[in-house]
Amino acid sequence: MPKAIRVYEYGGPEVMKYEDVPLAEPGKGQIRVRQEAAGVNFIDIYFRTGAYKSPHMPYTPGKEGAGTVSAVGEGVTGFKVGDRVAYGSAPDGCYAEEAVIPAAAAVAMPDGVDAQTAAAMMLKGLTAEYLLYRTYAVKPGDTILWHAAAGGVGLIACQWAKHLGATVIGTAGSAEKAELAKRNGCDHVILYREEDVAKRVREITGGKGVPVVYDGVGQSTLMGSLDSLAPTGLLASFGSASGPITGLDLGLLAAKGSLYVTRPTLATFASRREVLDEAAGRLFAAVTSGAVKIAVNAVRPLSDAVGVHRDLAGRETTGSTVLVP
């Protein structure tokens, strides 16, 4: 029997159980994938703790992975057994040796991209794509602010934004992470534990502020993000690592310069096949061209998912972590 991580109740990392599971057959519109690697992301923690609710219990975490198609369900025409595929927006189920996912979430993995790299880049890279191209289209000459620049999404997005011609300001929690961010696209890095982020942004931009702030941190960075924006600027809040944003007074947006705030998700964009294909094509092109390098900084066994979640929640990781069967 294949192994998988199963969650029977919401809670800390210890609720994840590594166990044998029956080999599932794909249903209509689904494929089964013999996984070579699964990506680990903060959204997995949100579901495990119950901050986001799983539609069923027990469940297997994980939205990102890569491997080889081992079975095809009814009605699937785009894939066949033996195809190499990757995915970053599966509903769940990727912390497993054999994952059953909707075929609509998968894309063909191009030659030159290995499974561990693909598993490390799909959710994070597709997130960077919709933020940089669709939420606010970054153009040459823009100056942007990216929180948690040394995180999994940040390392990809800051390289990509730099490639698009932007001046990139990042935030980081330590000198080591700041150096990593500078090696991956950031022109300036603000140590948010030691410096006033908005004040430094104003200094860097000659008092103007930035047209967009990309913020996956949430509540703790909200005011600094708003105070860093130029008039009519956009806060793209795409995560809540420090907790969800609550109680935002819309009057503040007027007072601070007719600001905009959006809370986009990958699921919205990836639900349209034509958008997913275009976004994946852009991502693979950026990686295979060398414009964006994927940092797989930790490869851990699937059985160590509990330890991986503890490290991720404790901000002990940089870049991407993948689990391998």
- pLDDT tens across 216-242, in order? 887 878 899 999 999 999 999 998 766
Question: Both tokens of residue 252?
Answer: 């503040």
Q: How confident is the model at residue 151 (pLDDT cuts 50, 70, 90)?
A: confident
| Rounded average pLDDT over 120-149 | 97
Domain coordinates in residue numbering, the chain: 3-122+273-324, 140-263
User: Is residue 295 over pLDDT 90?
Assistant: no
Question: pLDDT value at position 314?
Answer: 79
Q: Does 180 have pLDDT greater than 70?
A: yes
The CATH topology of domain 140-263 is Rossmann fold (3.40.50)
**CA–CA dist 94, 29 (Å, integer):** 17
**The pLDDT of residue 316 is above 70:** no
Cβ distance 261 to 235 under 8 Å? Answer: yes
Which of the residue ranges 12-21, 95-104, 144-153, 242-251 would you say has the lowest mean pLDDT? Answer: 242-251
In whole numbers, what is the pLDDT of the chain averaged over residues? 94
Instruction: Give the 3-state secondary structure of the chain.
Output: CCEEEEECCCCCHHHEEEEECCCCCCCCCEEEEEEEEEECCHHHHHHHHCCCCCCCCCECCCCCEEEEEEEECCCCCCCCCCCEEEECCCCCCCCECEEEEEHHHEEECCCCCCHHHHHHHHHHHHHHHHHHHHHCCCCCCCEEEECCCCCHHHHHHHHHHHHCCCEEEEEECCHHHHHHHHCCCCCEEEECCCCCHHHHHHHHCCCCCEEEEEECCCHHHHHHHHHCEEEEEEEEECCCCCCCCCCCCHHHHHHCCCCEEECCCHHHHHCCHHHHHHHHHHHHHHHHCCCCCCCEEEEEEHHHHHHHHHHHHCCCCCCEEEEEC
At 313, the pLDDT band (50, 70, 90 cuts) reads confident
> Which two tokens mark 182?
């500078």
Among 233, 295, 239, 293, CA closest to 266: 239
Angle ∠(33,38,42) on CA atoms, nearest 5: 135
Question: Is the per-residue pLDDT at 301 higher than 90?
Answer: yes
Check for a shared fold between 3-122+273-324 and 140-263: no
The answer to whether the peptide bond before residue 58 is cis (omega within 30 degrees of 0) is yes
C-alpha span between 66 and 208 (Å, rounded): 43
Domain 3-122+273-324's class? Answer: alpha beta
Above 70 in pLDDT, residue 317?
no
* Per-residue pLDDT, 159: 98
pLDDT > 70 fraction of the chain, expressed in percent and rounded: 98
Q: What is the pLDDT of residues 256-285, one digit of tens each?
A: 999 999 999 999 999 999 999 999 999 999
Tokens representing 237? 């809040």
